[in-house]
């Protein structure tokens, strides 16, 4: 496979904070439709890597190509428009608005029949809200105030708000934090549904959940990739056991 076939191609990526390399000459390639989980000890550089991909942090050196387009120096909002979606750990939903409204306001302006004028076509938005609400399991909660949802449902709503923008790459930071066992399973099913036609990168610590969802696992340590591959392979890697799984 040539590098142009990957949805995301990261080469020689480095970022330094006051001389400290939080990401050190890192290479990572993501297939279309792949669900990649990034694991590693605290301080390994996992969050910084996602920050670099979405543009929250700028690289010191190296390149990030998304769908073969150079993103490295582009601002965050342009990367969002290009199809890179990022969910942070703390939900940023509008608690006082209904589930429907939360999804509706997340539909990008400037799409649809009247897109050029910045209007939104109601039917198109409604259809998208219905599609996304079904996907995240909240189709019967559209009229509910978002603040009244359970913790898990709030997390799914936020994923839904990202899906309203049709990202081709979705990045999630510890999506099951604070969830019940049932909510964790529903989240696994949701992520596997999402990657039927999108690529997903997840940072996660819960190894049972990682085994459940990962197509491939990237293990980070000290800003570098320590190991990469299917879960069974990295789990058995003595280097990984030594710096991460053994503790």
Binding residues vs ligand ADP (CB under 6 A): 17, 22, 40, 42-48
Please state the closest distance from residue 156 (CB atom) to ligand ADP, in A. Answer: 23
**Separation between Cα atoms, residue 220 and residue 91, nearest integer Å:** 25
192, two tokens = 């596997």
Please state the closest distance from residue 45 (CB atom) to ligand ADP, in A. Answer: 4
Please state the closest distance from residue 79 (CB atom) to ligand ADP, in A. Answer: 18
| 8 Å CB contact between 228 and 234 | yes
By beta-carbon proximity to ligand ADP, the closer residue of 17 and 119 is 17
By beta-carbon proximity to ligand ADP, the closer residue of 16 and 72 is 16
By beta-carbon proximity to ligand ADP, the closer residue of 9 and 220 is 220
Q: How far is CA 177 from the centre of its chain?
A: 15
By beta-carbon proximity to ligand ADP, the closer residue of 40 and 160 is 40
Please state the closest distance from residue 1 (CB atom) to ligand ADP, in A. Answer: 28
Please state the closest distance from residue 19 (CB atom) to ligand ADP, in A. Answer: 10
């Amino acid at each position: 496979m040539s590098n142009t076939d990957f949805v995301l191609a990261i080469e020689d990526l480095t970022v330094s904070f006051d001389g400290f390399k939080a990401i050190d000459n890192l290479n990572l390639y993501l297939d279309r439709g792949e669900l990649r989980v990034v694991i590693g000890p605290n301080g390994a550089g996992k969050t910084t890597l996602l920050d670099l991909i979405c543009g929250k942090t700028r690289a010191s050196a190296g390149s990030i190509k998304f769908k073969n387009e150079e993103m490295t120096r582009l601002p965050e909002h342009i990367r969002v428009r290009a199809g890179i979606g990022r969910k942070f750990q703390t939900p940023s939903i509008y608690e006082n608005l209904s589930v429907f409204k939360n999804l509706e306001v997340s539909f990008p302006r400037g799409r649809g029949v009247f897109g050029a004028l910045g209007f939104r076509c109601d039917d198109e938005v409604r259809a998208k809200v219905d599609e996304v609400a079904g996907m995240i399991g909240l189709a019967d909660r559209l009229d509910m105030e978002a603040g009244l949802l359970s913790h898990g449902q709030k997390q799914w709503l936020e994923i839904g708000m990202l899906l309203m923008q049709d990202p081709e790459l979705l990045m999630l930071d510890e999506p099951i934090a604070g969830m019940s066992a049932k909510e964790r399973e529903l989240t696994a099913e949701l992520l596997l549904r999402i990657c039927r036609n999108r690529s997903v990168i997840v940072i996660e610590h819960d190894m049972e959940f990682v085994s459940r969802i990962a197509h491939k696992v990237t293990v980070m340590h000290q800003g570098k990739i320590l190991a990469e591959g299917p879960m069974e392979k990295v789990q058995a890697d003595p280097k990984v056991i030594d710096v991460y799984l053994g503790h």
